[in-house]
Amino acid sequence: MGLNEKLSRAERLILINQSRILEHLEPGSKETLQLQREALEQGYELEYFTYADALISDPLPESECDLVSNILQMCWILQKRLAEFDDLPESRHLHVVENVGFDGNHESAHMGYARFLVEKYGKFKGITTEDAFNSHAPRLSIYRKLLSRYETELRNYRISDPFTAEAIARILA
């Protein structure tokens, strides 16, 4: 809900009652909840969602969720395959695959979704990451390039065939 969204009296009453209940269930947040409740009771529209906006993130579009999932799958598969090689040529992008992450300042929704998939859903078991998926530097553009190369390599190989060191080197180039 945004600042321009109007609430009916019934919706305000529901939120007021929820705030009253939460005031008792969450004593540490009582003062904040009381302020929110008072804004709702008095009809101060500008203040309705002041606290909700801090609690509710903007949605991450389905296409971006797919992108994060595909990036994680690519990195997870490449990490497993890289562990099987003793000698792999150095690559400027090896680090971003070995330590999966997104920039916490500019790619925070992507970072949060990656954490959600791995830590909550339990997907991609054993994937290595740095600093809880926070790379502290933008990586989406790099991952998009790597993903494009990865998908090209997938088309060139049968699924049952593992990637060769040469194929991985082409992906990470």
What averages of pLDDT result for each successive group of 10 residues across the chain (173 residues)? 70 92 88 89 85 71 97 95 81 90 95 95 93 94 96 78 82 91
- Distance between CA atoms of 64 and 97, rounded to whole angstroms? 18
Structure-derived torsion over alpha carbons of residues 129, 133, 134, 135, reported in degrees to the nearest 10: 40
| Domain 9-55, classified CATH 1.10.287, yes or no | yes
| pTM summary value | 0.74
CATH 1.10.287 domain residues, the chain: 9-55
SS3 144: helix
pLDDT value, residue 151: 93
CATH topology of domain 62-172: yfbu gene product, domain 2 (1.10.3190)
49 with 3: CB under 8 angstroms? yes
pLDDT value, residue 4: 53
**Phi-psi label, residue 131: left if phi above 0, alpha if psi -120 to 50, beta otherwise:** left
CATH 1.10.3190.10 domain residues, the chain: 62-172
